[in-house]
């Protein structure tokens, strides 16, 4: 068989000058590689120039980072809910030697005022935690607490505490400090708002503890089908999302 010079040169020297069709194919291959690289960066949250990158940063973090962030979040929620329960129970008690009896004996409401301030501070942080969580259970807790604060808004305002549109509480310190012991006991003692909020905070604390334990015991595999969510016909567009 006769071997032509051009054919022989092509076999011996494969790095011949590319023709127009070869150049187009090379460009397409390069473009495809770049596109895949950019998509991977977007998924991993490494492409700082992507406008949509921030949407996926929370979902597409490493398993260890996701678990640590979730545990930290629920530890905070558990702490804030526990503090609401602690201060709420202290304010709830009206029997002998209660915080109100001691205020009558001393002639100062300073301790009551400090407990109310601490209660409100922890309550607001718990509300923020429930909003950020966004799970069905935590949203239910949030709705229940919002109903309680709306129902008690008029009474609470007598002691300088008012409910804001976002469900958190705000204190008018001068009005709170000017309230007498009987008014403080009537609004904050017994089975009023502080007692109801403390009881609900106990449920929030217990739910947060369960989530902490679940995070500890879960073996995370981001590619397992159990960790993939279906959105219409798109499978696995988001996973391990708390929201």
Which helix (H) or strand (E) element contains residue 57?
helix 53-57
Mean of pLDDT values over 115-125: 98
Between 63-92 and 193-217, two packed helices, what is the crossing angle to 10 degrees?
160
Span 46-69, average pLDDT: 52
The tally of CA atoms less than 13 A away on the side-chain side of residue 160 is 15
- Give alpha helix (H) positions in 93-107: 99-106
Q: Is the distance from CB of 158 to CB of 187 less than 8 angstroms?
A: yes
State whether residue 132 is helix, strand or coil.
helix
Q: Which of 78, 69, 83 is nearest to 207 (CA)?
A: 78
Reported as a single tens digit per residue, the pLDDT across 3-43 is: 555 555 555 555 545 555 555 555 445 555 555 555 545 54
**How far from 21 is each of 14, 27, 35, 163, CA to CA, in Å?**
16, 10, 21, 71
- Domain locations in the chain? 9-46, 63-217
**Residue, of 46 and 229, whose pLDDT is higher:** 46
Q: What is the pLDDT of residues 88-97, one digit of tens each?
A: 999 999 988 9
- Look at 215 and 132; give whichever has higher pLDDT: 132
């Amino acid at each position: 068989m006769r071997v032509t010079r051009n054919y022989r040169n092509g076999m011996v020297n494969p790095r011949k000058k590319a023709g127009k069709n070869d150049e187009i194919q090379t460009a397409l291959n390069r473009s495809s590689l770049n596109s895949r690289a950019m998509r991977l960066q977007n998924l991993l949250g490494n492409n700082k120039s992507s406008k949509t990158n921030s949407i996926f940063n929370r979902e597409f973090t490493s398993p260890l980072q996701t678990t640590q962030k979730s545990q930290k979040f629920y530890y905070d929620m558990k702490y804030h809910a526990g503090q609401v329960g602690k201060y709420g129970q202290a304010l709830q008690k009206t029997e002998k030697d209660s915080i109100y009896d001691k205020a009558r004996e001393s002639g100062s409401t300073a301790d009551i005022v400090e407990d109310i301030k601490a209660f409100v501070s922890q309550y607001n942080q718990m509300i923020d935690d429930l909003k950020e969580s966004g799970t069905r259970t935590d949203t239910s807790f949030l709705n229940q607490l919002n109903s309680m604060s709306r129902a008690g808004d008029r009474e609470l305002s007598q002691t300088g505490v008012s409910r804001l549109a976002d469900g958190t509480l705000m204190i008018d310190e001068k009005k709170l400090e000017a309230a007498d012991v009987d008014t403080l006991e009537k609004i904050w003692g017994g089975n009023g708002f502080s007692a109801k909020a403390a009881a609900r905070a106990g449920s929030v604390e217990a739910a947060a503890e369960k989530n902490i334990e679940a995070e500890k015991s879960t073996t995370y595999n981001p590619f397992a089908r159990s960790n993939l969510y279906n959105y219409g016909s798109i499978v696995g567009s988001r996973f391990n999302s708390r929201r």
